[in-house]
Homo-oligomer: A and B are copies of this chain.
Amino acid sequence: MLSKTRIAVLVSGGGTNLQALIDAQKRGDIKSGEIVLVIANSSRAYALERAKNAGIPAAVITKKNTGGTQETFEAAMIKALDEAGADLIILAGFLSILTENFTRRYPKRIINIHPALIPSFCGKGYYGLYVHEAALKYGVKVTGATVHYVNEVPDGGEIIAQKAVDVLPGDTPETLQRRVMEQAEWILLPRAAETVSERIMREKANLTGGKND
């Protein structure tokens, strides 16, 4: 009997990507994993409402409420993740930096969605609306989104999936952001969540199988 991958979703804001994951789980498109925890790094994140509405446990963990340093902040997150038995951590618009202390603890167990076709418009300083501003300023006609594993290099981990989205005449960073969300992020992220959950589920089963031999 395979036991589902336990997914924690880390969020900072409105949580539209979280909603896409919740909806996919309800539809059965995510069937190898189960969202067991939402962590927000702001008590005002609307994502917390979305978690509540879906009956998913949620925690607010901020630097401020955990001792004030990056170390205590990450330690509090690790504690919450361990307590929830999380196997897979999904960064779904999570705008805090995570250090190597955190990321090295979860090799190929953290995935992130970036609103551009990596290696374009990625790395330090490229997040949120700034990514779309940069794409428009450069004048690209095609952009998109990328789901990738998280390692110690910002936006530098192995790519899992990408989807292209056309830039249209008259686009603003806001209209482009919206189109990339609708046409790429909300499709790619649930799909990648299922793919990675499936892999982790099998790995867990193999480990258990090994113990029983």
Contacts and interface: CB of A to CB of B under 8 A. Distances in A.
Contact of A117 (B139, B142, B159): B142
Interface residues of A, number: 19
A197 interface: no
A159 B144 contact: no
A162 B141 contact: yes
A114 B119 CA distance: 16
A163 B165 CA distance: 10
A119 B119 CA distance: 8
Interface in A93-127: 117-121
Residue in A121, A142, A144, A146 whose Cβ sees the most chain B Cβ within 10 Å: A142
A140 interface: yes
B118 A140 contact: yes
Interface in A148-187: 158-164
Contact of A119 (B138, B146, B160): B138
B162 A140 contact: yes
Contact of A120 (B120, B141, B161): B120
Contacts of A120: 117, 119-120
A160 B142 CA distance: 11
A177 to B, nearest CB: 18
Contacts of A144: 142, 164
Given A117-B120, A120-B120, 15 more contacts: A117-B117, A117-B142, A118-B140, A119-B120, A119-B121, A119-B138, A119-B140, A138-B159, A139-B159, A140-B162, A141-B146, A141-B160, A141-B161, A142-B162, A142-B163
